[in-house]
Chains A and B, each alone.
Chain A
Amino acid sequence: MDALTLSFAVINGLLLGGIYGGVALGLSLIFGVMRVINFAHGSFLMLAMYCSYLLWASLGVHPYVSILVTVPFLFAVGYVVQSVVISPLIRRERALVVEPTSALLLTAGVYLVVDNSVLMAFGPDVRSVTTDITYESIFVAGLPINMARLIGFAAAILVAFALSFWLKHSDMGRAIRATAQNRDAAAMSGINVPLIYNVTFGLGCAVLGLFGALLVPFFSITPTIGLSFGIKSFLVVVLGGIGSIPGSILGGLLLGVFESVAAQFVTATSAAIFSFGLFIVILLMRPAGLMGRA
């Protein structure tokens, strides 16, 4: 493999990796605040992609314009899922021992419902969106860089900065961080903890609304892509450290480059083996997983 192919793979990996990091932001935020591993994380991304696709296919809305719809929609979905499905478990946990496996199973139920509802509504066909931006590239030092990926990458960096700024300086952000540190103490200081949980979950999903729409121009959509994105997000969060927003982006970049370089040696379908393998190796090297730092 020559240097040109390799540098092309690395750049593509960096761009896609940034987007992986952006996708994982929500998972990291939700886990950091609520200690819930959202198994349905990838499914919500898939939902956002279908939402954007539908707007494009039926009304001709450009995927980037559809962000105006997908972000509030996903926020609402996250808010409702948290307040209806997950909050009964958290209310029960207040008295009992925290049981992360129950939370995982609960969100696995959400994953089954969301993935199969979409499968039922749209069938297993692969769909893709072609827009003006799909094949547009700019050349930097002789290497083609896909515009859609570059925009996704830039958005990931931007969202990461905006989110950490907001968490640090806004009232709601402070309340969220206080709840993450100590739920009971936050409640005693007058913070409405159930509301914080709903907003956090909604926010984690709203980020997916953004990246779903940004992915659509260059990523084919099937009802089953959710799980692979979900697993990748877990991997990114494990790599980057729990609850850490810059860590999430960094983990994404690492995974993107790793995958993209691995794909140079084997077929694209088999490349998924490497990200799963990396996932196992990383977790085994830190047996306590994310909990080790909690």
Chain B
Amino acid sequence: MRVSFTLILGLPLLVAALILPFVVADNYVVHSAAMVLYFAYMASSWNFVCGYVGQVSLGHAAFSGIAGYASVLLFTGLGLSPWIGMILGGILAAAISVPVGYATFRLKGPYFTLTSIAFAEILRIWLENTDAFLGIPLKGAQGLTVPPVGGTSFVAFQFDGKLPYYFIILAMLVGVMAATRLMERSRLGFYLKAIRGNRDGSEALGIDPTRYCLTALALSAFLTGLGGAYYAQLFRYINPERNMGIDLSIDMAVMTIVGGQGTILGPTLGALVLHPVGEVVRATLGGHVLGLHLILYGVVLMLAVLYFPKGIIAPLQRWLAPAPKAPAPVVKPKEVEGR
């Protein structure tokens, strides 16, 4: 049922995304569309662990920052291609996520969330106040720039137009969805759902919650890291505030929650709705109005928590792919009377 629904909704979206840059060949539009895809990708990476385990992390931006910095530093310092730096950065983020997750996944609900914030904030504040670490120039709050190599170079992850960046992030988004789909259908996916449903119960059945949560977290950190490295290459600039600030973590969480946690298309749907609305608000009311789109995110988040706890994907799913009518509950009259 879910597969067909994902295809019914996902395929038209994919086709639209593929032809969009040829219909509207405007650099601004393509860039904005790439940003929507970037947020969809980041939210999907967040969803990979948080949506399925049911724990809200507001520290995921740290993984984006770790991998982003790693890829930029490997490029500027060693001349390593950002493609390789991206993978290495992702692996580094995953490696760091394991001890952090090992310690924090024992915490429940809000305590996990608050600890994740504390973890990411420690890293961000440290980076903002550190000019050089072990001889590596981090340049603190000022951030690092990626030196242009001139023209288009696939190896250096630098292209003239916005179009290549657009298709790279589109491919990454399709990749994370495929990974989520694989995970959903694998042993890991079923275990995670069991853990979300009842942690103690699943443990009693012999599932080791820590082990499977950590596996998912490491994969999610790796995916988030790839996104962070992509972001650094797109803007050829990275700083602690934009690449690992709490705003990015909140964006990822809000988009997923509004779209629908624990679904393949939910995070993308959330990004598709929220990011353009935020952009339009920013564009029409002028750049001088700071923070307006975040006010909007806050209102939408509150409405979603109160009225669409399963995300906007739930009503869509009912409408596009209605579930077969459940058989009427069988009531045994005798039992009812017996009470």
Residue numbers in A under 8 Å from B104 (CB-CB): 280, 284
| Selected contact of B115 from candidates A111, A117, A283, CB within 8 Å | A283
Given the known inter-chain contacts A120-B291, A124-B290, A269-B125, please indicate yes or no for A283 contacting B114, CB distance below 8 A: yes
Q: How many residues of A contact B (CB 8 A)?
A: 45
A185 within 8 A of B: no
A276 in contact with B110 (CB, 8 Å): no
A276 touching B114, Cβ below 8 Å: no
* Residues of chain B contacted by A102 (CB below 8 angstroms): 305, 309
C-alpha gap A280/B128 in the complex (Å): 20
**Contacting pair B306 A106 (CB below 8 A):** yes
| Interfacial chain B residues near A272, Cβ < 8 Å | 121, 125
Give residues of chain B (279-306) contacting chain A, Cβ–Cβ below 8 Å: 289-292, 294-295, 297-302, 305-306
Q: Count contacts on B: residues with CB < 8 A to the other chain.
A: 43
A288 to B257, CA, bound (A): 25
Cα of A234 to Cα of B117 in the assembled complex, Å: 12
A109 contacts B298, CB within 8 Å?
yes
A100 to B56, CA, bound (A): 11
B295–A276 CB distance below 8 A: no
Which one of A106, A231, A267 contacts B305 once the chains associate, using CB atoms below 8 Å?
A106
How far is B302's CA from A19's CA once the two chains are assembled, in angstroms? Answer: 31
B121 CB contacts on chain A under 8 angstroms: 231, 272, 276
**B103 lies within 8 A of chain A by Cβ:** yes
A35 to chain B, nearest CB (A): 10
Smallest Cβ distance from A82 to chain B, in angstroms? 13
Instruction: Return chain B residues, CB-CB under 8 Å to A289.
Output: 107-108, 110-111
Q: Can you list, as one digit per residue, whether each of B253-270 has a CB less than 8 Å from chain A (1) or not (0)?
A: 100010000000000000
B106 contact set on A, CB distance < 8 A: 284, 287
Q: Give A231 to B292 CA distance when docked, in angstroms.
A: 24
If over half of A's interface residues share one DSSP class (helix, strand or loop), that class is named, otherwise mixed; here it is: helix
Contact call B301/A108, Cβ cutoff below 8 A: yes
* Chain B binding surface, main DSSP class: helix
The answer, yes or no, to whether A123 is at the interface (CB within 8 Å) is yes
B304 nearest CB across to chain A (Å):
8
Q: Give which listed residue, B54, B113, B118, B291, contacts A115 with CB less than 8 A.
A: B291
C-alpha gap A291/B107 in the complex (Å): 10
B58 / chain A contacts, CB cutoff of 8 Å: 108
- Complex CA gap A277/B117 in Å reads 11
For A109, the chain B residues whose CB sits under 8 A away are: 298-302, 305
Residue of A nearest to B298 (CB): A112
Query: With the chains together, A111 CA to B295 CA distance in Å?
Result: 9
- Chain B residues whose C-beta falls within 8 Å of the C-beta of A103 in the assembled complex: 110
Contact B299 A113 (CB under 8 A): yes
Most chain B C-beta atoms within 10 Å of own C-beta, residue among A106, A112, A283, A290: A112
Q: Contact at A101–B114, with CB atoms within 8 Å?
A: no
A6 within 8 A of B: no
Q: Which residues in B have their C-beta under 8 angstroms from that of A117?
A: 291, 295
A279 within 8 A of B: yes
Residue numbers of B with Cβ under 8 A of A are 54-56, 58, 103-104, 106-111, 113-115, 117-119, 121-122, 125-126, 128-129, 246, 250, 253, 257, 289-292, 294-295, 297-302, 305-306, 309
Give me the interface of A with B, judged by CB distance under 8 Å.
Answer: 37, 85, 88-89, 92, 100-106, 108-113, 115-117, 119-120, 123-124, 223, 227, 231, 234, 267, 269-270, 272-273, 276-277, 279-280, 283-284, 287-291
A sample of 26 cross-chain residue pairs with beta-carbon separation below 8 angstroms, ordered by A number, consists of A37-B110, A89-B306, A100-B110, A101-B113, A103-B110, A105-B56, A105-B257, A105-B305, A106-B302, A106-B305, A109-B302, A110-B302, A113-B299, A115-B294, A116-B292, A117-B291, A227-B246, A269-B128, A276-B118, A280-B115, A280-B119, A284-B103, A284-B106, A287-B107, A288-B108, A289-B111
3 closest cross-chain pairs (CB), A and B: A112-B298, A116-B291, A109-B302
Give me 7 other A-B pairs in contact (C-beta within 8 A), A105-B301, A106-B306, A116-B295 excluded: A106-B305, A108-B250, A109-B305, A110-B298, A231-B121, A279-B114, A280-B115
